[in-house]
Chain A
Amino acid sequence: MATLELAGLAKSFGALAVLHGVDLALADGEMVVIVGASGCGKSTLLRLVAGLEEPSAGSVVLDGRDVTRLDPAARDIAMVFQNYALYPHMSVFENMAYGLRIRRLGRADIRRRVDQAARMLGIEGLLDRKPRQLSGGQRQRVAMGRAIVREPKLFLFDEPLSNLDARLRVQMRAEIRRLQRRLGVTSLYVTHDQVEAMTLGDRLVVMHEGRPAQVASPLEVFSRPANTYVAGFIGAPAMNFLPARLADAGRAAVLKAGPVIAFADGPRAGRDGRALIIGIRPEDVTVLPEGAAQGLRLAVDLVEPLGSETLLHGRLPGGAAFTVQRAGMVRVGEEMTVGFSPASLHVFEAETGRRLEPVSLAPPARVESSAAMHGSR
């Protein structure tokens, strides 16, 4: 159990800059999830922490000790790999015991630790099997077992669930969370799956092109995304974005699609006419009765019935794509009028994509997200 601090951690492969300086601090026992699209540098960040790659700049401090130049084995970190990376010629027991044997633990100690971890993971019966005799879920457990028996200061997970089928993934997700809570080991978890990220993390790091776009709690990231990238990435179906301009001395926005919307939470800074992007989540959109004075006309071109809800995709008068989520199965015509409460709006600056908070309001949570924003453009 330990704290982890990354300061200005950067990595380039030749001319290709993959990470542009990541600052991050993990509290003792905290589980932080790094989420981002494929290729944004998540694995690279994890491998820098593990010591499998040398950073181009910056430092890794584990439990108050600078480990930046240390060998992976000397860092007291355990990692769970996406493809499990079990040793194919060793039994499950040997797989879990290998790291301990190298650390010259006594036989009895090794036996005890492996047995304990195996019981925790429900793989006691598999200890004599070879990896190829195991199912995907079982291999996953063994890979976790191999990390657990080491009793490390830090766990690293690199998309550990992405090779499992959907049902098993949900089950293992809950299990990893329970296990991490129970063991209380500080953890860094990488995934491209936002559901995994939302459910597992005490905090999220949303990565975008080698920079953290936002570092905050899952709820904060969802309800107050720091920029349009985060807003579009987190939440399914993705947030709708509508071009607009600031109006009425910062108290309202004029949508390109027509209507004027007064901000519910206070005025935004800037001169009238400043280009904005208004974000609205599909689940916050309501369908208004036919002939309502307010609202936007939506020409529906695709209906996706998902069982518990229905997604309606279409276009607004300005031509912007727009998605509406409605509960249950609904029948719809070709056209409808939709509206939303001004309280559910997200306001972004068009030029930078940055979130615009009301000027009078300076919520305390802003500090963290603006610190993350500092790393971004």
Chain B
Amino acid sequence: MHRRIDWPAHLVLLLGVALFAFPVWLVFAGATQDAGAINRGDLSLIPDFSHLGIFLSVLLHGYGEAGGHPAWRMLMISAGMALSIAVGKIVISVLSAYAVVFFRFPFRMAAFWTIFITLMLPVEVRIIPTYAVMADFHMINSFAGLTVPLIASATATLLFRQVYLAIPDELVEAARMDGAGPIRFLFDMLIPVSAANMAALFVILFVYGWNQYLWPLLVATDPRLDTIVIGIVQLTFGGFTLTPWNTMMAMAVLAIVPPVVVVVAMQRWFVHGLAEVEK
């Protein structure tokens, strides 16, 4: 059937796209321009294509003269942190949701509510005690210190609990009659059946980990553990006579790329997993 084009709807959509894309474009265009010009407020919306090399030089050398290190290192730290947090959160919350939903043990509901309450205690709230604990464990300035306190996740546990509760009892019983024990059931049934949800959650958690700022700032003062987010901020407060806006913007563009890649790569799963449970 040939449908009429719905102009108003398209117009609204285009506006929405422009609204979201404009800042990204601005940063991209700014990265290719002269720092002095930006400081004067002469930010052009048209990129200077002869200066595209700045991305490569930021990636490989960073902001050399100020002693900054190459962006690729910081990107690696960020990626390592985001991956560890996302994977760690998923592993832990799958296990805890599995225990809470499928096993009957004393204080099961107490355990569940304890997990639930931690929803109200994100890192920002418990930052000082958490720091103290990390210090006692000598985990300051280590990769473990960067990731471990962020791994436990009430949100993910609750999500998986809902997913598992939606699994029909008969499926569980069929597996039991087929002789699947708890471990087999987890790996042969639960994980494959909720793979879409795990993928969707992975995307969200990866972005969450990637965007961490306060905790890395506090726990990892060693420049070798600087994440890309920290790196960008340091350019602002780095004691430069002239804030290197173009370098900063180039770094910001580089910092956007990995989460975008993750979102695009998992897109199919992402939409599917948030919308439904495979029946």
Query: What is the interface of chain A, defined by CB distance below 8 A to chain B?
Result: 47, 50, 52, 71-73, 77-79, 81-89, 98-99, 102-103, 132, 146, 150
Contact = CB atoms under 8 A, between A and B. Distances in A.
A82 B179 contact: no
Contacts of B177: 50, 52, 72-73, 77-79, 99
A52 B178 contact: no
Contact of B170 (A85, A98, A99): A85
B148 to A, nearest CB: 32
20 contacts: A47-B173, A50-B173, A52-B176, A52-B177, A73-B178, A79-B173, A81-B173, A83-B170, A85-B174, A86-B174, A87-B171, A87-B193, A88-B193, A89-B278, A98-B188, A99-B177, A99-B178, A99-B179, A102-B180, A102-B184
Contact of A81 (B170, B184, B188, B193): B170
Contacts of B278: 88-89
Contacts of B168: 83, 85
A79 B174 CA distance: 7
Contact of A89 (B170, B180, B184, B192): B192
Interface in B153-211: 168, 170-171, 173-180, 184, 188-189, 192-193, 195
B279 interface: yes
Chain A to chain B: the 9 pairs with minimum beta-carbon distance, closest first: A73-B179, A99-B178, A85-B170, A85-B174, A89-B192, A102-B179, A81-B170, A72-B177, A72-B176
B-side interface size class:
10 to 19
B193 A89 contact: yes
A212 to B, nearest CB: 24
Contact of A103 (B179, B188, B192): B179
Interface string B240-278: 000000000000000000000000000000000000001
Given A88-B278, A89-B278, A102-B184, A82 B178 contact: no
Contacts of B193: 87-89
A90 B193 CA distance: 10
Nearest to A102: B179
Among B177, B178, B278, B279: residue with most chain A CB under 10 A: B177
Contacts of B188: 87, 98
Contacts of B195: 89
Contacts of B175: 87, 98
B276 to A, nearest CB: 12
A81 B279 contact: no
Nearest to A83: B170
